[in-house]
Amino acid sequence: MKHSIYQQLHLPYLEAALPQLLQEASTQQWTYETLLQRALATEVEGREQKAIARRLKAARLPSTKTLEGFDFSFQPSLSERRLRELADLSFVRTCTNIVFLGPPGTGKTHLSLALANRALTAGHSVLFTTLSELSHALSTASHPGLVRSRLRRYITPSVLVIDEVGYTTLSQEQARYFFELVTARYEHGSIILTSNTSFAGWGTLLGDEVLATALLDRLLHHAEVIAVNGRSYRMKERQTDRASVSAPSEAALSATSVVPTGVR
Contacting residues toward ligand ADP, per CB under 6 A: 65, 70-71, 74-75, 104-110, 194, 233-234
CB 126 within 8 A of CB 159: yes
The torsion angles phi and psi of 159, rounded to 5 degrees, stand at -130, 125
Characterise 179 by phi-psi region: left (phi > 0), alpha (psi -120 to 50), beta (else).
alpha
Distance of closest approach, residue 194 Cβ to Mg ion, in angstroms: 6
- Tell me which residue has its CB nearest to Mg ion: 109
Distance of closest approach, residue 163 Cβ to Mg ion, in angstroms: 6
174 binds, options Mg ion, ligand ADP, none, Cβ within 5 to 8 A by partner type = none
Q: Is the dihedral of CA 88, 65, 109, 50 positive or negative?
A: negative
Nearer to ligand ADP, 61 or 211 (CB): 61
Distance of closest approach, residue 136 Cβ to ligand ADP, in angstroms: 20
Nearer to ligand ADP, 17 or 83 (CB): 83
Nearest by Cα to 156 from 119, 109, 130, 124: 124
Nearer to Mg ion, 39 or 205 (CB): 205
Distance of closest approach, residue 215 Cβ to ligand ADP, in angstroms: 21
Beta-bridge partners for 127: 160
Q: Between residue 94 and residue 123, which ones bind Mg ion under the rule CB under 5 A?
A: 109
The torsion angles phi and psi of 18, rounded to 5 degrees, stand at -55, -50
